Amino acid sequence: DAGITQSPRHKVTETGTPVTLRCHQTENHRYMYWYRQDPGHGLRLIHYSYGVKDTDKGEVSDGYSVSRSKTEDFLLTLESATSSQTSVYFCAIQAEYSNQPQHFGDGTRLSIL
Amino acid sequence: GENVEQHPSTLSVQEGDSAVIKCTYSDSASNYFPWYKQELGKRPQLIIDIRSNVGEKKDQRIAVTLNKTAKHFSLHITETQPEDSAVYFCAADKKSGTYKYIFGTGTRLKVLA
């Protein structure tokens, strides 16, 4: 399995609190992604990174921010969590070549009450 | 915008029968089409992929076919086994060179013993 670690694996928090999820990789891959997975919607891209300090928005980026200060770490922050952000969050990585697969971490189950 | 449609959303087959899952995509520039299997509570895992210069690819009981003219691709699983029960996602890269995928909404496959 690709060397991807997500933390925490589970989190319960209250509406309005800030939340940061971490993705750590040991593959030295250039590309990293954050997805959310909800029933009936599959995997939707929140933000992605194409290098240190280089990030861009995905299709569902509202309410989320990201940072990548090192190749191995990609952080996803919910500045003020809302109940609609209750979801399972997956990090993925991809090598720097076209037509390569993305590999996923184990996910973080986030519940916002 | 670009999207990937996946059908059916649920599929039940008897053990030993074949299963077929179909996806259509809208971006004619898509060149790479991975398939992922996700067991309950686990990460999506790549099971097979196909590139646009190939019409068919096989790996033991799994095969994928691609029709670029019609913009659709299919996953075929033969001699299904109970351990094939999972959710399967197709994906297409968004545009060549961007390293982003659009995922289908998933197919829940149940193999009945």
In 3D space, the residue among A72, A82, A80 whose CA is nearest the CA of residue A7 turns out to be A72
Q: What is the pLDDT averaged over residues A56-77?
A: 96
The DSSP code for B82 is G
Interface residues of A toward B, Cβ cutoff 8 Å, are 31, 33, 40-45, 48, 50, 58, 90, 94, 98-107
Judge contact between B24 and B90, C-beta under 8 A: no
Q: How far is CA A100 from CA A62, A91, A93, A108, B9, in A?
A: 28, 16, 10, 24, 26
**pLDDT means over runs of 10, chain B (113 residues):** 91 98 93 95 96 92 96 97 97 79 95 94
**pLDDT for res A96:** 80
Upper half-sphere CA count for residue A51 (Cβ side, 13 Å)? 3
**pLDDT for res A57:** 93
pLDDT tops 90 at residue A100: no
**pLDDT for res B95:** 72
In 3D space, the residue among A24, A13, A11 whose CA is nearest the CA of residue A93 turns out to be A24
Residue pLDDT, tens place only, A14-53: 999 999 999 999 999 999 999 999 988 889 999 999 999 9
- B35 at A interface, C-beta within 8 A: no
CB contact under 8 A, A42 and B106: yes
SS3 category, A101: coil
